[in-house]
């Protein structure tokens, strides 16, 4: 908190700032948190969003000649290069940092806090904003970013500093939390569609079968239509408990592993300032909407929604969300048809130009959830990226407990072939030269093997 206060005081010395952030839900909410705080200080600002922070991007940032540059949800992996900017620099990030330090660098890893599940980029930015003034009401954006970064996935609830921020939001009246079904679409999807699209866990006889979903709910006496299709939020507590209980029993009798069934129930987070029945009311749905803007080159739309625009920006964001869902479905189909190749210590697929580079990591994570691949090996995904190759990697918490650290593995492997990489232990990314995929995989396979103690 002392470091957050130092960063806040440094910001308040200036009248204008350049805000640089990442193109995902955590990056958008991070930018929104600091922009709202700057607004309240009467400061002017300009925002830029990046797919990745590298030397060419830093050269463009340097050309803008900003007196104050604030990096949110990125920057920790490029501290040396950032420090060369002729600008006062603030970094609020949660990715694994370089060892070298910067004066105004707020990153949980530097304080023994895990940036993968205990504090997101938006959370780190919130700590700075809170020290700038009366900004506790921005806790909902910070939690939105944490959920978008899937920081609640392992424990099925927010932990660490994320939890502290969440409780501040509850106290401030902008958030609520409860134990409920953790399926996507609680606010907006008809109940039978909620179950049909469930992949975590994969429910035998239910997932992917619309008719069976309707029959399943009808047998339980659930009213499916009353003027409109009933949504999860329209059910009473007893109806919800009945459905969850029956799904659990169904999964267990069909030998679905207990650890998968556990993912069905956990904490969910509601943004109380938003209208019930909209994507913005539920943290999971809201964060997906944000991803659907920035990952397709419309970060300005996502930021506008975060800043409160419920007019044209929101309409545009919803149309992008519909296209995003279609792209994810098509991407999964491509991977299923193409298949995944196993090496000794990893598995991979190369989407080339058939899947957007900005969503290939999401696809990789979804392939894991479907349970059709080896859950004992991390999955690596490749996609074309402006003449280079984008690499996205996903693991599981079990692998991390065994020693997997994808951030370090991708950083070292990418560096060996002339690229750059980093991220989190459980999820990371890299950019490598085109044609270097085979060499990169050989190096990465060895590094992961050593991490998991499969190699000497």
**How many Å is the maximal CA-CA distance in the chain?**
68
Determine the Cα–Cα distance for residues 78 and 87; give it in Å rounded to an integer.
15
pLDDT band at 369 (very low <50, low <70, confident <90, very high): low
pLDDT confidence tier of residue 372, bands split at 50, 70 and 90: low
Tell me the pLDDT band of 251, cut-offs 50, 70 and 90: very high
Q: What structural domains does the chain harbor? A: 2-171 (3.90.1640.30), 339-451 (3.10.310.40)
Residues 6+ apart with CB under 8 A from 156: 182, 262, 263, 265, 266, 267
pLDDT digit string (tens) for 302-334? Answer: 999 999 999 999 999 999 999 998 998 899 899
CA angle 229, 278, 134 (to 5 degrees): 155
Q: Which residues of 241-257 are buried (b: 16+ CB within 10 A; e: fewer)?
A: ebbeeebbebbeeeebe
Burial label for 435, CB within 10 Å (0-12, 13-18, 19+), is exposed
Average model confidence (pLDDT) across the chain: 93
Q: What is the Cα–Cα distance from 152 to 258, expressed in whole angstroms? A: 19
Backbone phi, psi, residue 242, to 5°: -65, -45
Q: Are strands 68-72 and 44-50 parallel, antiparallel or unpaired?
A: unpaired
pLDDT on residue 100 = 67
Q: pTM for the full model?
A: 0.86
CA angle (348, 49, 274) in 5-degree steps? 95
CA 246 from centre of chain: 30
114-128 mean pLDDT: 96
User: Rounded to an integer, what distance in angstroms lies between the CA atom of residue 181 and that of residue 231?
Assistant: 13
pLDDT of residue 417: 97
Q: Find tokens 């296209």 and name the residue.
A: 323
Contact 124, 93 (CB under 8 A): yes
Angle between helical axes of 299-306 and 283-294 (0-180°, round to 10)? 150
Report the distance separating Cα 26 and Cα 53, nearest Å.
15
Helix ranges, 339-393 (H)? 360-369
Give me the residue label for tokens 């009248």.
15
Instruction: List the single range of 339-353, 369-383, 425-439 with lowest mean pLDDT.
Output: 369-383
pLDDT confidence band for 365 (50 / 70 / 90): confident
Q: How far apart are CA 402 and CA 400, in angstroms?
A: 5
pLDDT mean over 202-219: 91
pLDDT in tens, 326-346: 998 899 899 989 999 999 999
pLDDT value at 455 more than 70: no
Cα 358 to chain centroid distance, Å, stands at: 12
Residue among 72, 178, 184, 173 at smallest CA distance from 119: 72
């Amino acid at each position: 908190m002392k470091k957050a206060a130092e960063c806040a005081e440094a910001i308040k010395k200036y009248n204008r700032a350049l805000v640089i952030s990442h193109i995902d839900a955590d990056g958008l909410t991070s930018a929104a948190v600091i922009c709202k705080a700057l607004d309240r200080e009467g400061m002017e600002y300009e925002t830029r969003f990046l797919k990745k922070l590298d030397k060419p991007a830093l050269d463009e940032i340097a050309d803008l000649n900003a007196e104050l540059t604030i990096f949110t949800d990125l920057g920790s992996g490029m501290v040396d290069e950032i420090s060369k900017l002729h600008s006062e620099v603030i970094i609020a990030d949660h990715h694994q940092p370089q060892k070298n330090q910067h004066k105004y660098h707020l990153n949980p890893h530097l304080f023994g806090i895990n940036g993968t599940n205990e504090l997101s980029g938006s959370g780190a930015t919130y700590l700075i904003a809170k020290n700038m003034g009366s900004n506790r009401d921005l806790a909902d954006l910070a939690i939105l970013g944490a959920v978008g970064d899937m920081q609640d996935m392992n424990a099925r609830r927010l932990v660490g500093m994320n939890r502290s921020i969440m409780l501040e939001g509850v106290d401030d009246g902008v958030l609520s939390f409860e134990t409920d079904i953790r399926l996507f679409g609680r606010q907006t999807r008809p109940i039978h569609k909620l179950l049909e699209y469930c992949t975590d866990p994969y429910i035998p006889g239910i997932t992917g079968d619309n008719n069976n979903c309707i029959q399943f709910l009808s047998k339980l006496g659930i009213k499916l239509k009353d003027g409109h299709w009933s949504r999860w939020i329209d059910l009473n507590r007893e109806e919800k408990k009945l459905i969850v209980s029956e799904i659990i029993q169904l999964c267990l009798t069909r030998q679905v592993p207990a650890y998968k069934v556990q993912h069905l129930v956990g904490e969910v987070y509601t943004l109380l300032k938003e209208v019930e029945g909209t994507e913005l009311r539920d943290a999971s749905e809201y964060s997906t909407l944000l991803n659907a803007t920035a990952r397709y080159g419309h970060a300005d739309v996502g930021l506008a929604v975060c800043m409160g625009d419920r007019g044209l920006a929101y309409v545009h964001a919803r149309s992008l969300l519909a296209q995003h869902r279609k792209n994810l479905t098509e991407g999964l189909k491509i991977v299923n048809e193409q298949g995944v190749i196993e090496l000794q210590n990893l598995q991979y697929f190369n989407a080339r130009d058939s899947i957007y580079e900005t969503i290939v990591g999401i696809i990789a994570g979804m392939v894991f959830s479907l349970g059709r691949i080896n859950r004992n090996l991390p999955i690596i995904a490749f996609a074309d990226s402006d003449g280079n190759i984008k690499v996205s990697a996903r693991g599981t918490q079990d692998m991390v407990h065994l020693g997997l650290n994808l951030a370090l593995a991708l950083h070292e492997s990418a560096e060996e072939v002339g690229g750059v990489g980093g991220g989190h232990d459980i999820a990371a990314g890299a950019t490598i030269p085109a044609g270097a995929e085979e060499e990169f995989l050989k190096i990465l396979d060895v590094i992961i093997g050593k991490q998991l103690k499969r190699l000497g």
